[in-house]
Amino acid sequence: MADRNLALGATTLRDRLADGSLRAGELARECLAAAEAGRDLEAWAWLDPDYVATQAEALDAYRASGRSIGPLHGLPVGIKDIIDTAGVPTENGTVLDAGRKPEKDAYVVTRLKQAGPLIMGKTATAELAFLGPPKTRNPHNPDHTPGGSSSGSAAAVAAGMVPLAIGTQTGGSVIRPAAFCGGVGYKPTFGAIPRTGVLSQSPSLDTVGVFARSVEDAALLAETLFGYDEGDSASKLAPAPRLLDIARTDPPMTPNLAFVRQPAWDTADQDTRDAFGELGEALDPICDEIGLPGAFGEAIRQREIVNFAEMAKNFHGYAARGADRLSAEMQAALQEGNGIPARDYLAACDWPEVLNAGLEAFFDRYDVIVTPAAPGPAPKGLQSTGSSAFNGIWTLCGTPAITLPLLQATDGLPMGVQLVGRRGDDARLLRTARWLAQRLSEEG
């Protein structure tokens, strides 16, 4: 579990590292000790204590020189093992990439290094960031799944091995594992963080996200990663957002919240139904229950069509090199993707605009949508990473989403409250999320 410094939030650690009351070497040693104590969780795909110690020494020497430091100076960060790191293994969770060491950093790693953190290591991922069960265990109960595919990032942060981590989401791979492991997971607006150098599974859906222990900490990390890169056509040239500053401010007016059951509500377990019923009572009268337009009932399947068709194209090389070495889940998905007619794929690609048109009226009236992060707490067993039915719609729409660890199941496992905002309005989402977390904490 986390030691005395790691019990603090990333923003507090950042300030202590900046004023010299905490040294990067001290914090790095605590992280390594926590990782060693939790090694049975298998959150790391690659972790080299010498690599960590060398960085920490250099970071402390840099600060002692009196030169200007970056906004993440000395903060340990875990990076999902589908994100390229120059000279450091990036094996994409598959034996077909065993020993792979990229020559160039991904865009997000370049941005990260400019901010001055300590790169702790590469966090474990499901095979090719899909549904194959990962090796990672849930820090709350190792007999339950940590979720996927960003399982290592979620578990490492929740277990106190590292204050911050980066992951990706194509279906529910940030929100779901964060909810299962009891952390904060934030998936920004589609295209806000360039994906150049990140394994491409489904370019129409893949989104880089972050894991932290608070909304402020998530904003701190995400703000350094937002930007534009010509290598990613989904990224946009726009002014850098002030995510952390805005997240820390109080809303000018009491937010209006909209509770949505989603088309997959019938899969929600009793714990989720009861917990969200109590949450609705606690938020009355600022939270209305609303229904989504009928078209949203088709959204889960349309997202699958886009995902599987693009995955069949992008992972063709893996299948050609060794289809028999891919998991049964991957082989089945590639087979389905290969069989999707072009007309169905092209039609599915039109759905984000259709769905977002339906959301515009909601976001004119409400600040955020409130909905479960998953059908329930982390399922028992390690054969599945759980359902993304409560996440996939928002991934398809490209809307920002965040999960907060505000609820608990009867078995003691955490459950996440997912908030969804308007596309491009990430700062407002984070501000509302922090406000909600603070309000519920004060009440109880």
Query: Looking at residue 267, which CATH number applies to its domain?
Result: 3.90.1300.10
Residue 333 lies in a domain: no
Token digits of residue 347:
């039609």
Residue 331 lies in a domain: no
Contacts of 439 (CB under 8 A, 6+ apart): none
Residue 358 lies in a domain: no
Contacts of 91 (CB under 8 A, 6+ apart): 45, 46, 81, 97, 98, 99, 100
Q: Is the overall model pTM greater than 0.95, yes or no?
A: yes
CA atoms within 13 A on the CB side of 101: 5
Q: What are phi and psi of 121, to 5 degrees?
A: 160, -170
pLDDT for 43: 98
CA-based end-to-end distance of the chain: 25
Residue 329 lies in a domain: no
> What is the extent of the structural domain holding 225?
1-286+369-444
pLDDT for 444: 60
Residue 363 lies in a domain: no
Which residue has tokens 């903060």? 75
Single-letter amino acid, residue 323: A
- Integer-rounded Cα radius of gyration of the chain: 20
Residue 350 lies in a domain: no
Token digits of residue 335:
């087979």
Residue 306 lies in a domain: no
| List 150, 153, 173, 200, catalytic entry | 173
Between CA 64 and CA 7 the distance in angstroms is 25
pLDDT for 441: 87
* Count of structural domains within the chain: 1
**Are 261 and 422 within 8 A, CB to CB?**
no
Residue 80 lies in a domain: yes
pLDDT for 170: 98
CA distances from 286 to 256, 289, 366, 426 (A): 5, 10, 10, 21
Q: Is there a catalytic annotation at residue 151?
A: no
Across the 444 residues of the chain, what is the mean pLDDT of every consecutive 10-residue run? 76 96 97 97 98 98 95 98 98 98 98 98 98 93 97 98 98 98 98 98 98 98 97 93 97 96 96 96 94 95 98 98 95 97 98 95 96 98 95 98 97 98 98 96 76
**Are 415 and 409 within 8 A, CB to CB?**
yes
pLDDT for 240: 83
Single-letter amino acid, residue 114: Q
| List 122, 149, 150, 235, catalytic entry | 149
